Structure 1
Amino acid sequence: MTAKPTETFMFSPEIETMARPQLAALQLEKLKKIVRHAYDNVAHYRQRFDAAGVSPDDLKTLDDIQRFPFTTKDDLRGHYPFGMFAVPREQVIRVHASSGTTGKPTVVGYTREDLDVWSEVMARSLACMGARPGDFVHNAYGYGLFTGGLGAHYGAERLGCTVTPVSGGNTERQIVLMKDFEAQVLCSTPSYALHIAEVAEKTGVDIKGGPLRVGVFGAEPWSENLRHELDARLGIKAVDIYGLSEIIGPGVAAECIEARAGLHGWEDCFLFEVIDPETGDPVLHGEQGELVITTLAKWAQPMIRYRTRDITRLTDEPCACGRTHARILRVTGRNDDMLIIRGVNVYPSQVEAHLLGLPSIEPHYQLVIQREGSMDTMTVEVEAKLGVPVDQYPSIAKKVANHVKAMVGVTCRAVVLTPGEVPRSQGKAVRVRDLRPKAI
């Protein structure tokens, strides 16, 4: 019998409600095996561990992992394509890769067991976010080398859902399929979900009045204000999901639909740390820092202390849903996304959080970064609501600039564009246009 949407539903209740001491013991057991596996089978790890004076035998407690060196994206690029594999290439039955727009792509591989684990944690995540066996899942994440589409697809099938593998693009047709198939769950980036809502409104399709009830949104940072916007315009509960290709893909952590107050990280499969991004030292529990993840159940390509560059906090306070796995509080940005404007550290998601909800503008924006003399400047491009007179644009722009200055602390320009002029996303949103001269 399918659980009601409002009931707490757990895909793996014995794992998801495991007592913290028992969970820590399981983590340590798995950690010892995966670190040994990495050391014995990946030359990079063996060289780095030896140079740091540590070995798998030094792991007596979970805290001992702090003695081991970090892994970064540069390590994956430096061993392109298969130098980080810990099993013979013939045992790798799938590879994914990043786009490689800033250098060589990062390649990630999976054994059959890895894909099974991925499907399990993704099914667990979908159930946590409110999907139920038998639901129609409209999957608008991109398929291909990007892990989002196939990750959501196999997880939904593992949960027992019916999947529409529509991928991104052709938004009008997507809306027809959502309506005709009576989809209950939408999987996409939050920016594309906003675009779906906008197109549905313009074409007179009532998504809000239909069976759609859950939005599974991830792959880009997004704000609490955008959540409220998506809730209202799609008639859903918008829920955050977290993952990254280097670790496994989507499904590393997910918000529960009961609380929507932080993402439950599946600690039986991943070990989480938070460090000071400057020093690499661990921060106090609950303090903000950079998230570091060690895979506990990925055999083709184990990641030991992988620096995600994501800024967040961890908490293991009890959750209303009853799950015991620690929560990753909303990712506020990435180290490599951070802008320094007139001496102020700025994350695009910070600006978004304070733009959404302002009167007379739509929730679409871009930040344009330029170099003037020796100083970087930021222009916030926003979009007027339909029907707002053009002669009001200058006063709206002034209000936007003043609001960003007051709430974020950075001086900027603001420009109000006409409805539809800010580019729409069919995948990950492009929030920053960096027009600064490139170093030669």
Structure 2
Amino acid sequence: MFNPTAEAMPLAQLRALQLERLQATVQRLSERVPAYRTKFAEVGVTPDELKTLGDLHRFPFTRKSDLRDSYPFGLFSVPRSELRRIHASSGTTGKATVVGYDRNDLDVFAEVVARSLYAAGARPGMLFHNAYGYGLFTGGLGTHAGGERLGLGVVPISGGNTDKQVQLIEDFGPEVIACTPSYALVLAEALRRRGHTPESLSLRYAVLGAEPWSDTMRREVETRLGVKATNIYGLSEIIGPGVSNEDVHEQQGSYLWEDHFYPEIVGPDTGEVLPDGEFGVLVLTSMTRTAMPVLRYWTGDITRLLPADNATGRTMRRMDFIQGRSDDMIILRGVNVYPSQIEAVFGQFAELRPHYQLVLSRTGIMDELLLKVESGRTDGALGREVVQRIKAQIGVSVTCELCEDGSLPRSEGGKLKRVLDLRGAR
């Protein structure tokens, strides 16, 4: 049964546990994974040099390319006979990234997801509508096992098939739902078309993740589904969903489960560790996985670390909303901008919907950025005001196209692509 007491571990005890687990992880990687042994030799470090948490920065980063270079099982630290599950990315941009789990890893996975669902408001005995995709994607099976660990009744609906989703929500009456934030809005629209109001729905809590989103989208989901929505964060290279989750009462940053995952924030260009409170790239080390521990994984996600909120009794740090990905950053005429920044600005307009797309194109030598956003109004005055406010608050010049409701792409349960880059198109 799930036990939440570890979240309130005294800070000195937590730091000592982290060091102990990091030392064991580095030693395991050095002894069992030739690729890591080579990486350590290349930078001239050995496991016995990790004497304090501050020494971790001396060890090399792990990047997605390392997983692809070691395809399929080169980073595993157990024989294949000990594996109990394998997940993988789609591999649409090259070789898939493969991750493996032994019995211990699946236990850790279920525990951290159960902890996340509990923070999101779920309680034993509730019904859990799990609309994350099952299969090679870690989301569906990962949240499923965590829901069972917590004592929820799990409905494994998976992603897509919206009509069936709506029917089961109507017939089963679940209190908890998990899916991507963009798909939550798709379900909200479908439920509205069936005559439902937020008050007529059984849903109380939404656990949303797998894509960047904002407080603007949170408010829209909460209003239209009648729920309290929290952010769940994770990635398959570290374990899957359940690395962190917001507290349903705060909704002010996701608590990182620091007894299992050690976080760092580093400069995107320098790789140097930044102090808490500064924005940079999130780097994570899995400290309790045994089949495939990953050291200093460069997530590419831009965020910052925040102190714990003493009101909850937790001692673990929080991570702020993901501002974007270091590889998704748009450089427009010398200004760095993330899609979430633009969303935060147009979210200030009540007439605009959270359905949008950013289209990058090139005229001559100049890059152009078009914001397409759905709106109840399509007059030019509103579009000009949006453009002016984006310029004033972010410092970039864009054009704005106000689109009719329902005209922009919708999620079918997976991640929704927000940026369309046409600069290389012919």
* TM-score category (smaller protein): over 0.9
1: CA distance, partners of 2:366 / 2:73: 41
**Structure 2 counterpart of 1:82, one-letter code:** F
For the aligned residue pairs, the C-alpha RMSD in angstroms reads 1.6
Q: Which residue of 1 aligns with 2:133?
A: 142
Partner residue in 1 for 2:236: 245
For 1:272, give the aligned amino acid.
P
Could you tell me which of 242, 252, 257 is aligned with 1:266?
257
1:276 shift after superposition: 1.0
C-alpha separation between the residues in 2 aligned to 1:126 and 1:372? 48
Q: 1:172 to 1:99 in 2, by over 3 A?
A: same
TM-score by length of 2: 0.96
Deviation for aligned residue 1:147:
0.9
Compared CA separation, residues 287 and 255, structure 1 to 2 (3 A): same
Q: CA deviation at 1:438?
A: 6.2
Q: Structure 1 residue 414 and structure 2 residue 405: aligned?
A: no
Give the deviation of 1:341 after TM superposition: 1.2
Structure-2 residue corresponding to 1:398 = 384
Give the counterpart of 2:311 among 316, 320, 326.
Answer: 320
Matches within 5 A, 1:112-127: 112-127=103-118
CA distance in structure 1 between the aligned counterparts of 2:102 and 2:94, rounded to whole angstroms? 26
| Aligned with residue 61 of structure 2, among 67, 70, 91 | 70
Q: CA shift at 1:56, angstroms?
A: 0.9
Q: CA deviation at 1:375?
A: 2.2
Alignment of 1:434 with 2:421, yes or no, is yes
In the TM superposition, residue 11 of structure 1 has moved relative to its aligned partner by: 4.3
Deviation at 1:357, TM superposition (A): 4.4
Supply the distance in 2 between the matched residues of 1:359 and 1:223 (Cα, whole angstroms).
Answer: 15
Q: Deviations over 1:388-420 (max 9, x none)?
A: 4xxx43333223222322222211111122221
Q: Deviation digits for residues 28-80 of structure 1, max 9, x if unmatched?
A: 11111111111111111101111211111111111111110111011111111
1:379 aligns with 370
What is the CA–CA distance in structure 2 between the aligned matches of 1:208 and 1:174, rounded to whole Å? 18
Q: How does 1:174-193 map to 2 (within 5 A)?
A: 174-193=165-184
Pairs aligned (count): 425
Letter in 1 for 2:94: G
Residues 2 and 149, structure 2, Cα contact 8 Å, conserved in 1: no
Q: Does 1:304 align with 2:304?
A: no
- TM-score, scaled to structure 1: 0.93
Whole-Å separation in 2 of the counterparts to 1:270 and 1:359? 39
After superposition, the C-alpha distances for 1:316-368 in whole angstroms (9 at most, x for unaligned) are 24332211111111111110111111211111111112222424332210001
| Structure 2: stretches of 5+ with no match in the other structure | none
Name stretches of at least 5 consecutive residues in structure 1 with no aligned partner. 1-9
* Contact 2:303-2:321 at 8 Å conserved across structures: yes
Work out the CA distance in 1 between the residues paired with 2:261 and 2:91. 25
Q: Is the 8 A contact 2:216 2:354 kept in 1?
A: no
For the residues of structure 2 that align with 1:208 and 1:436, how far apart are their CA atoms?
Answer: 46
Aligned-pair distance for 1:121?
0.4
Aligned to 1:49: 40
After superposition, where does 1:346-385 map in structure 2 within 5 Å? 346-385=337-376
- Correspondence for 1:5: none
Residue 408 of structure 2 aligns to a residue whose secondary structure is coil
Give per-residue Cα distances to partners, 1:120-165, cap 9 Å, x unaligned.
Answer: 1000110011100011111111111111111111100110000111
Structure 1's 76 and 422: CA in aligned 2 closer, same or farther, altered over 3 A? Answer: same
Q: Is the 8 A contact 2:308 2:314 kept in 1?
A: no
Tell me what 1:152 maps to.
Answer: 143
Shift of 1:111: 0.8
Task: Give every structure 1 segment of 4 or more consecutive aligned residues whose post-TM-superposition deviation is greater than 4 Å.
Answer: none
Secondary structure at the aligned position of 1:208 is classed as: helix
C-alpha distance in 1 between matches for 2:331 and 2:34: 37
CA contact (8 A) 1:30 1:297 kept: yes
Q: Hey, what's the Cα distance between the residues in 1 that align with 2:204 and 2:117?
A: 13
The answer on whether the counterparts of 1:259 and 1:320 sit within 8 Å (CA) in structure 2 is no
